[in-house]
Amino acid sequence: MTNPSDGLQAALTRLEAGEPLEAVTATLPAEDAELLKLASAMRATQSPRAAGAVRAQRQTLLRSAQAQRPALPSARPAWVLPVAISGAFIAVAFAAFLSLAALGALWWWNSRGGDPVAQNPTRVATSTPIAAAPSNPREATLNAARGLVEVQAGDGTWATASGGAVVEARQRVRTGALSSVTLAFYDGSRARLGPNSEIAVDTLDAQRSGARVIQLTQVSGDSDHDVAKSAEANSVYEVNTPSGAGRAKGTQFHVSVTALAIRFDVSEGAVDVSNVNVTVVVIAGHSTVVVIGQPPAPPLPRFSGEGEVQEINEAAWRIAGQTVLVNAGTLILGQPQVGDRVLFEGRLQPDGSKIADRLTLLSRRLTNTFRFIGTVEAIGAEAWTISGRTVRVDAATVIEPGIAVSDTVEASGEVAADGALVATRLDRLEPELEPFSLTGVVQSIAATAWSVSGVTVTVEVSTTIEAGIVVSDVVEVQGVVLADGTRLARSIAKLADGVVGEFEFTGIVISLDPWNVSGVPLATDDDTEIDDGLRIGNRVRVEGRVLADGAYLATAIERVDNGARHAIQFTARVQSIEPWVVGGVTVTVDSKTKIDDDIELGDWVTVKGNLLPDGAVIAKKITRVEAGPGCTSLTAIVVAINGNTLTLSDGQTLTLDDSIEVTGQLSLASVVIVQMCVGEDGGVMVIAIIVIFQLDELPPTPTPAPTATPLPTLTALPPPPSTGGSYDIRGNGETLTLTCTGHTVTIRGNNNRVTLLGACASVTVRGNNNWVSVQSATSITNTGNNNTVQGP
């Protein structure tokens, strides 16, 4: 006998499949027929929402989405994640800030559930592991662990920890370079540690109902906090630092601890920041800095952006058309130089000037580069023929000894102005073995295998391993993938912290969403080039860069097929379209070639394709490379409107026209995020204005920052990242002047002219054809060819 529930469900299934009601009910018992009619009638009921309410709600939603949106459409450079601000909150908190009154009850939806990606402006789709939740309020669970994560045991020793580990009060957690981890608390709050960070759990009782108490002490590095709302007035979420403490209720904020100062950035809600008995309230979109022994600086609006370094001067850098001030409190990561792309973050002063709190190298200056794998057909003193293509060699070309005709080689180098391929390296490859390289943090070292940022590489007697490498060092591993998928390291070299790490390897697709290739989880973003039709089990080549938090962000995932060994890839400017000439190389396109829209003459593009037997290049894909000066975004209030002209609280005057996308109702006292980019002519263009809230009235003019917390200005050019740090010069053809204060200097590139001022520690020249002048150094080593090193 059929269960009545099953019978009704069977009838509903028929109805849902499109069968007429009458036909279905005709076959049912009377009672079930009536129930089916009721179900059908219910589905037909109308509960229309007011169109105006729907529109308003949709607009609010999209505005919030836009405010959190990290990237513009592909036609424009990537945006930094704009400041997400709760308008409802601003109304309360801004007034409270100005009147120094106590903040009222605040709320805001818990909007940013995903793990932010530290020091990377592009939101990436990462392989988020299923988060483990703590089982009780007195525990926190470690989630999303990347790289080297350690927990201090009760006896004070540190032990490596992985995702799912549990920590309790009076324990510490720390991360290495290229590493990150999230502490998940019982009440839903989360604290995420960035690279090279350490935090102590002082008190932990994360009750979901009742008073929640979470007290942390951040010793070093960066952390992001997402604090769950609590209805209890006595709830505490507190982050202490060596100088100053932040207390929050239901909010999101960032804490950065350096030797010079502590910075609190608030993206949602409010944080009370205190030091030496002075408390300031930092509201969404604002930051404060605390210098040891001094009260917190008055909070200032934040700005952030990404772009090309156009100029480096004593106390100011020109980036993406913006002048940003640097001082001793500015943290500079990766030793960026003119032409490089950086992420810049800082505070807007009342006079409109911008103080940079952090400058992070994102990528080195684009050069006309090429790389391909082919078969050696002829070897000459000045030119080789590789898979039908002539490749020039010169004294600067590093040629692996023993290469002979018919060997498979990887050629890499620069595309000369006349289109010639000039090799900087020629490396022999074992037939059928794919090369790989990756940058990561050493997690473990054993006799036959190392673990580097979660990737196991085997080592053998012939593997060249730089002396002195220990766990927690950042290394570059180069080697080959064996037939069984094992990664055999040919060399392991130590890298200076802060360099732009890259990776490239071949493997088997394990999963597509999230991406995992041969056990390596990959992050992707809008700019990741992924071959169509890839499936699990396909063999692919992956290349990309290693983010500061240890994530592997793929820039390309491409199928490896029989023709891949004669594939070519190069990046250069477009000189002609129809016919295509890129960097002097004539490129053949056909109906299968995928070409980005809107490519124009002069644009930087990456060409991927195959080398034909006659040396011609047939393109599979031509992709525009974002190489524009960059963009920035900042928060401001509209203080005057005159026709189409807006005046903002930072003093800027904007004229609205069709090229500016305005989201929301723009009025006097609107709180807006202004997004702007540098145009081809070098001028700054406002791209979009997003209204995030409407204040009832204009706030009083902010009080200028007091001079109680001056930060000394550097006199060197450019500012060194820190005393005792390191410079790692990997570019080619650069002219650099660097100031050492105990820095270790390594020059890996070629044809550079480097002047080292000040007192350096060791100086090592590994590249070729470099000219180096050293004012002072503890040691100078020259292992390259044809270098000129002028010592002290």
Site for another protein contains 35 (CB under 8 A): yes
Whether the Cβ atoms of residue 674 and residue 654 lie closer than 8 Å to each other: yes
Pick 67 or 457: Cβ nearer another protein: 67
Whether the Cβ atoms of residue 280 and residue 296 lie closer than 8 Å to each other: yes
Give min distance, CB of 7 to another protein, in A: 9
Site for another protein contains 4 (CB under 8 A): yes
DSSP string covering 657-674, please?
Answer: -TTSEEES---TTEEEEE
Which CA distances in Å does 531 have to 41, 83, 528, 571, 742? 48, 34, 10, 18, 47
Pick 71 or 738: Cβ nearer another protein: 71
Site for another protein contains 551 (CB under 8 A): no
Residues 6+ apart with CB under 8 A from 666: 638, 641, 646, 656, 672, 689, 691
Site for another protein contains 43 (CB under 8 A): yes
Site for another protein contains 601 (CB under 8 A): no
**What is the rounded CA–CA span in Å between residue 527 and residue 545?**
12
- The stretch near another protein (CB under 8 A) out of 12-20, 146-154, 550-558, 704-712 is 12-20
753-765 and 771-782: which strand pairing? parallel
Closest to 120 (Cα-Cα) out of 437, 287, 360: 360
Whether the Cβ atoms of residue 305 and residue 468 lie closer than 8 Å to each other: no
Judged by CB under 8 A, the chain residues 61 through 120 that form the site for another protein are 61-62, 64-66, 68-71, 109-115
Site for another protein contains 306 (CB under 8 A): no
Give min distance, CB of 213 to another protein, in A: 20
**What is the rounded CA–CA span in Å between residue 238 and residue 241?**
10
According to DSSP, residue 706 is labeled P
Site for another protein contains 157 (CB under 8 A): no
- Torsion, Cα 347 348 349 354, to 10 degrees, reads 80
Pick 38 or 708: Cβ nearer another protein: 38
Interface residue with another protein among 27, 57, 464, 586 (CB under 8 A) is 57
617-624 and 585-588: which strand pairing? parallel
Interface residue with another protein among 49, 402, 602, 643 (CB under 8 A) is 49
Site for another protein contains 640 (CB under 8 A): no
Give me the 175-214 binding string for another protein, x by CB under 8 A, dash otherwise: ----------------------------------x-----
Interface residue with another protein among 19, 34, 430, 466 (CB under 8 A) is 34
**What is the rounded CA–CA span in Å between residue 391 and residue 152?**
55
**What is the rounded CA–CA span in Å between residue 307 and residue 137?**
43
Interface residue with another protein among 45, 277, 591, 707 (CB under 8 A) is 45
Interface residue with another protein among 382, 513, 532, 681 (CB under 8 A) is 513
DSSP string covering 340-355, please?
Answer: -EEEEEEEE-TTS-EE
Type of residue numbered 603: D
Judged by CB under 8 A, the chain residues 222 through 281 that form the site for another protein are 231
Judged by CB under 8 A, the chain residues 363 through 402 that form the site for another protein are none
Whether the Cβ atoms of residue 232 and residue 214 lie closer than 8 Å to each other: no
Give min distance, CB of 61 to another protein, in A: 5
Site for another protein contains 128 (CB under 8 A): yes
Site for another protein contains 132 (CB under 8 A): no
**What is the rounded CA–CA span in Å between residue 596 and residue 666?**
34
Site for another protein contains 164 (CB under 8 A): no
- The stretch near another protein (CB under 8 A) out of 8-16, 154-162, 297-305, 313-321 is 8-16
Site for another protein contains 37 (CB under 8 A): yes
Pick 35 or 780: Cβ nearer another protein: 35
Give min distance, CB of 149 to another protein, in A: 20
Interface residue with another protein among 19, 23, 27, 60 (CB under 8 A) is 60
Pick 73 or 431: Cβ nearer another protein: 73
Site for another protein contains 31 (CB under 8 A): yes
Interface residue with another protein among 2, 5, 157, 448 (CB under 8 A) is 5
Interface residue with another protein among 19, 20, 23, 54 (CB under 8 A) is 54
Give min distance, CB of 77 to another protein, in A: 15
Give min distance, CB of 564 to another protein, in A: 27
Query: Residue 428: what are its φ and ψ, rounded to 5°?
Result: -80, 140
- C-alpha neighbours within 13 Å on the C-beta side of residue 586: 8
- The stretch near another protein (CB under 8 A) out of 58-66, 178-186, 456-464, 590-598 is 58-66
Whether the Cβ atoms of residue 450 and residue 465 lie closer than 8 Å to each other: no
Would you call the peptide bond into 699 cis, given omega within 30 degrees of 0 as the criterion?
A: no
- The stretch near another protein (CB under 8 A) out of 41-49, 703-711, 762-770, 782-790 is 41-49
Would you call the peptide bond into 718 cis, given omega within 30 degrees of 0 as the criterion?
A: yes
Give min distance, CB of 281 to another protein, in A: 24
DSSP string covering 545-588, please?
Answer: EE-TTS-EEEEEEEE--GGGGGEEEEEEEEEETTTEEETTEEEE
Place of tokens 């980005």: 596
Judged by CB under 8 A, the chain residues 749 through 778 that form the site for another protein are none
Give min distance, CB of 713 to another protein, in A: 38
Pick 120 or 337: Cβ nearer another protein: 120
Pick 68 or 369: Cβ nearer another protein: 68
**What is the rounded CA–CA span in Å between residue 569 and residue 553?**
19
Give min distance, CB of 48 to another protein, in A: 8
278-283 and 252-257: which strand pairing? unpaired
- Torsion, Cα 103 108 110 115, to 10 degrees, reads -60
Interface residue with another protein among 19, 20, 38, 170 (CB under 8 A) is 38
**What is the rounded CA–CA span in Å between residue 194 and residue 358?**
14
Whether the Cβ atoms of residue 343 and residue 324 lie closer than 8 Å to each other: no
Binding residues for another protein, total number by CB under 8 A: 58
Pick 43 or 703: Cβ nearer another protein: 43
Whether the Cβ atoms of residue 503 and residue 476 lie closer than 8 Å to each other: no
- The stretch near another protein (CB under 8 A) out of 4-12, 396-404, 407-415, 732-740 is 4-12
Say whether 746 sits in a helix, a strand or coil: strand
Pick 22 or 351: Cβ nearer another protein: 22
Which CA distances in Å does 28 have to 17, 19, 39, 432? 17, 14, 14, 67
Give min distance, CB of 639 to another protein, in A: 28
Give min distance, CB of 177 to another protein, in A: 24
Site for another protein contains 39 (CB under 8 A): yes
Pick 19 or 680: Cβ nearer another protein: 19
Site for another protein contains 529 (CB under 8 A): no
* Spacing of C-alpha 583 from chain mean position: 29
Orientation angle between helical segments 4-16 and 30-44, nearest 10 degrees: 40
- The stretch near another protein (CB under 8 A) out of 42-50, 367-375, 398-406, 695-703 is 42-50
Closest to 638 (Cα-Cα) out of 705, 691, 704: 691
Site for another protein contains 53 (CB under 8 A): yes
Does residue 773 come out as left (phi exceeding 0), alpha (psi in the -120 to 50 range) or beta?
A: beta
Pick 56 or 446: Cβ nearer another protein: 56
- Site residues (vs another protein, CB under 8 A): 3-6, 8-9, 12-13, 16, 30-31, 34-35, 37-49, 53-54, 57-58, 60-62, 64-66, 68-71, 109-115, 123, 125-126, 128, 130-131, 209, 231, 513, 525-526
